[in-house]
Amino acid sequence: MKRPRLVLALLLSLLAPVAPAAERVNWTIRAVPDAPATQVVRVAPDRADWTYAVGETATFKVVLALNPYPAEGVAIKYRVGPEMLDAPEQTATVPAAGLVLPGGTMKEPGFLRCSVTATIDGKPQRGLATAGFSPERIQPTQTEPANFDAFWKEQKAVLAKVPMDPKLVPAPELSNDKIEVFYLSLANVSNGAVPSRVYGVLAVPRAEGKFPAVLNVPGAGVRPYRGNLSMAEKGVITLQIGIHGIPVNLPASVYEDLGRGALADYNRASLDDPLRYFYRRVYLGCLRANDYLAAHPKFDGKNLAVMGGSQGGQLSLVTAGLDPRVVALAADYPAYSDVTGYLHGRAGGWPGLFRPGRDGKPVSLRSDDPRLATTRLYDAVNFARRIKVPGHYWWGYNDETCPPTSTFAVYNIITAPKELVIAPQQGHQSVPVQGQTTSAWMLARLTAK
């Protein structure tokens, strides 16, 4: 699927305010992405910024991009309801001028989604739009355990006892006259008896002098990596890591087999035990990567940052919350944010641990369920509470992987300096200007005199 282009002009001057400015902490509304030429079903709310106050009413307009348009109209099926939760399916016919569907309102802060499907030339086509209702007031459902700080202090102490044991292999195929690139591995804690390592791609400027450093943390999945070479060429030491304890330069077929097999549903592995849960080794692996960057002879000794999107956004929040050496972070549509939302009748963060099943019935857990206790120690919400450094954030309202209810639950509790860019129509994909904007923000932070 082609990625939509993001219009650069800001819409702020066109948008009617829907909440006091003081409540919207450093928001920027970007123009929504243009619809791809291949998108047939196009849906949009009746406000340019897709944002309303609780109690206000939204409508959704459906337009079918067909030429010539059938005179008799096209039948659609649609659902309107809270994001990520099933709503009754309804039917309608779209006239040539488009169809306005009633959306209704919300009594609590959150997001209302209109999803529309149509069958065109025998092929299903889908479009959606998501209206936000006072999203600046969304608060997390996840609770903070009394032992949170003690737990992670103990885990960091365990990591500190593991010698770093760095191993570097030159990567001449990735290097050039500006940067020298290596495949790097570091010793990490283990979730069992088998030793574990962190693998990644290190890129170091060839020029003389000292440089800032950035840890790039990955989105979900199992794949190879080639490093953040473009930022390294601008004078930054970069280390892009994987999270699965395997080299990052294996044949693609290896990752495909692991993703379908041993590493399928890795985010749920040993969820009932916080000391064996999959993400324990991952979170500490991020700190181990920072250990290496902080000790690198070309590091400037002060400017260490972390950035990533989706699961990488989650890991950016975690790393910034755990590691006082971090001076800035960038987190796009962070995953694992307020995963308990589904237990409270609203969307929760990826990976949807407690999302209702196909029968629509909510998941019921006892308050002492060990899986619930583990999420309290690993949810990005509780790391975000501890962030003290500037952060840059970006997401859209149409995200069906990391729902905006969950990402706002994290953003709204961060008390450190923060900047949020909203591209309302954007789903769970990156667009070129997003990477350009985020990288520019990070470079400005790291190179400021």
For residue 436, give every residue at least 6 positions away whose Cβ sits within 8 Å of its Cβ, in sequence order, or none. none
Q: Exactly one of 196, 337, 338, 428 is catalytic; which is it?
A: 428
The residue from 134, 185, 196, 310 that is catalytic is 310
Q: Specify whether the CB–CB gap between 231 and 316 falls below 8 A.
A: no
Determine whether 392 is an active site residue: no
Helix (H) / strand (E) containing 295: helix 278-295
Structure tokens at 341: 């939302």
Q: Can you list the positions of beta strands (E) in 189-333?
A: 196-205, 211-216, 237-241, 299-309, 326-332
For residues 274 and 270, give the distance between their C-alpha atoms in angstroms, rounded to a whole number: 8
Q: How many CB atoms lie within 10 A of CB 60?
A: 25
Indicate if 344 belongs to the active site: no
Token code pair at residue 337: 């944010």
- Its sign, for the CA torsion 111, 114, 115, 120, is negative
Q: What is the secondary structure of 343-388 as a DSSP string? A: GGTS---TT-TT---TT-PPP---TT-HHHHHHHHH-HHHHHTT--
Catalytic residue among 196, 244, 399, 439: 399
The angle formed by the CA atoms of residues 220, 151 and 313, to the nearest 5 degrees, is: 25
Angle between helices 278-295 and 370-378 (to 10 degrees): 20
CA separation for the pair 44, 28 (Å, rounded): 19
**DSSP-assigned beta bridge partners for residue 198:** 186
The strand pair at 179-188 and 196-205 is best described as antiparallel
Q: How would you label 219-243 residue by residue, b for 16+ Cβ within 10 Å and e otherwise?
A: bbebbebebbbebbbebbbbbbbbb
Q: What is the DSSP string of 182-195?
A: EEEEEEE--SSSS-
Distance, in Å, from the CA atom of 371 to the CA atom of 363, rounded to the nearest integer, reads 12
| Coarse DSSP helix, strand, coil percentages of the chain, rounded to the nearest 5 percent | 25, 30, 45
Can 428 be counted among the known catalytic residues? yes
- List, by residue number, the catalytic residues: 310, 399, 428
